[in-house]
Amino acid sequence: MGGWNRSVGSLGVLALCGALVGVGGNAPSGATTGSTGCGHPVTGITSTTIKVGGIFPVTGPQGPFFSAVGDGILARLHEQNASGGIGGRQLSLVTADDGDGLLENLSAATTLVSKSRVFGIIEASTNSEGSGSYLSKNGIPVSGWGITPAWGRYTNMFGYRYSTSPNPNGQATTQVASFIKQHGGKRVAVLGGGASASVNFVRQIATTLSAFGLKLAYKNLNEPLGLTDYSFDAKAMQKAGVDSLVTGLDTFSNIDLYKASEAIGLQFKVGMLPAGYDARLAAADGSVLQGAYVAIDWRPFELPVPAQQTFKQNLAAVAPSQFPGQLAMVGWLSADVFIRGLQAAGTACPTRGGFISNLRKVKDYTGGGLLPKTDFSTIFGKAPLCYWELQFVDKAFKPTSANPFCGVVFKANGR
């Protein structure tokens, strides 16, 4: 397993597809709607296979991060296939690169549905809004990382842990502001830019600060993707007396931001980052990010359960060079929910409609112990409230608690 660098996790779609027996490209439609063993055709299903689509960025600014999702998906499908698949059918994966853009996301979805003729889709992208309406109208089951409003708007979409608010601007919660307050922060900077998910994330947090007696001392929601020089922001934050930081930026941007701040002697009492849970990152740049916090929505490796070892073993089987980090686990859990949906639909003859209606009724999903108990009916359309918070300490991660840190939905008149 390699060290942390700016191209970690970058893998081609063909490599992802080739790692699993039965994975192919745009197979003829007859191969996906022929004999199903059910007495009627089901798109994406034959008597021996179930074809699944995968959407995530491989190219574009976020490709190096999200490409690990594909290996995580393959790992979970590999485990299921080794156990007999679903009703004796093997699961195969066809992926499409959404280029980290809304139009590319829609193009990826239409290609998988109309040309590759998949049964359903596993998705992890900040631009899932691009295809949300199309996939809903066509009744396509979707599982994945619920990080845009589409996951709380369309009932065919299932985040592995959370839904979202259907509001295009999201829904503010008190989780971050409460955490900052409890850890001594007073004057907060919020930075975001690029994808709308990044901007909405920090904008929501900014609206909650004053209710906790916190001051929004600096705000920049126009950071361009790919920016490496954050000296302007660092100087502006220092001038504003900032002692706490919240960003919606990618991991490399956060490293550059911390370096620029360190260069002028600016330190943060509380620094909250949206991603970066990776042991290689901690080893390589933990000294730069010392004291910062990163949030994840699944049980961290520092709090072991057997499912984590199962994940690592299967990831090593399909992608020996892939590190078992945050985005690979996102892929694993996204695929796990899809498998749970197929099981709920009836393994003998699953249908798209059965997947969607029956998975929504599941009330006790835990991802094999990686997640708190999840009820897919009650979480729909609601913002995430709880995350495990981990701190960079001595080039490693230290959980702040054995349990997730939770907030509530923010109400402007009395939180």
| DSSP string over 71-99 | HHHHHHHHHHHHTTTBTTBEEEEEEEE-T
CA distances (Å), origin 141, targets 104, 122, 138, 167: 19, 8, 9, 21
Angle, alpha carbons 56-355-360 (nearest 5°): 90
Phi, psi of 326 (to 5 degrees): -60, -50
In which band, very low, low, confident or very high, does the pLDDT at 414 lie, cut at 50, 70 and 90? low
Q: Token pair for residue 257?
A: 């931001």
CA distances (Å), origin 258, targets 68, 206, 214, 285: 25, 20, 21, 10
Report the C-alpha gap between 111 and 124 in whole angstroms.
17
Report the C-alpha gap between 110 and 117 in whole angstroms.
9
Q: What is the mean pLDDT of the chain?
A: 89
Report the C-alpha gap between 53 and 76 in whole angstroms.
14
Q: Token pair for residue 289?
A: 């990010």
In which band, very low, low, confident or very high, does the pLDDT at 12 lie, cut at 50, 70 and 90? very low
Structural contact between residues 384 and 204, judged by C-beta atoms closer than 8 angstroms? no
**DSSP strands (E only) in 45-202:** 49-56, 90-97, 120-123, 142-144, 157-159, 187-191
In a 3-state reduction of DSSP, which class is residue 30? helix
| Token pair 């690592």: residue | 312
Tell me the pTM: 0.85
Contacts of 82 (CB under 8 A, 6+ apart): none
Query: Would you state the pLDDT for residue 35?
Result: 62
In terms of DSSP H, where are the helices of 297-370? 306-318, 326-345, 352-359
Looking at the predicted structure, is the pLDDT value of residue 1 above 60?
no
Structural domains in the chain, CATH included, are: 13-162+303-369 (3.40.50.2300), 175-296+386-406 (3.40.50.2300)
Candidates 44, 100, 86, 35; CA nearest to 335 is: 86
Phi, psi of 245 (to 5 degrees): -135, 135
Looking at residue 223, what DSSP letter applies?
A: P
**Which is it for strands 215-220 and 187-191: parallel, antiparallel or unpaired?**
parallel
**244 membership: H or E segment, kind and range:** strand 244-247
Long-range contacts of 103-108 (CB under 8 A, 24+ apart): 103/130, 104/60, 104/130, 105/55, 105/129, 105/130, 105/131, 106/130, 106/131, 106/134, 108/55
> How many CA within 13 A on the CB side of residue 115?
12
273 vs 167, more confident = 273
Q: Token pair for residue 291?
A: 């004291």
Query: Would you state the pLDDT for residue 19?
Result: 29
pLDDT tens figures, 261-299:
999 999 999 999 988 899 999 999 999 999 999 999 999
Looking at the predicted structure, is the pLDDT value of residue 11 above 60?
no
pLDDT tens figures, 136-148:
999 999 999 998 8
pLDDT tens figures, 18-73:
223 333 333 333 334 446 678 778 999 999 999 999 999 999 877 877 879 999 99
Q: What is the mean pLDDT of residues 193-217?
A: 90
Report the C-alpha gap between 176 and 242 in whole angstroms.
16
pLDDT tens figures, 324-337:
998 999 999 999 99
Report the C-alpha gap between 185 and 350 in whole angstroms.
51
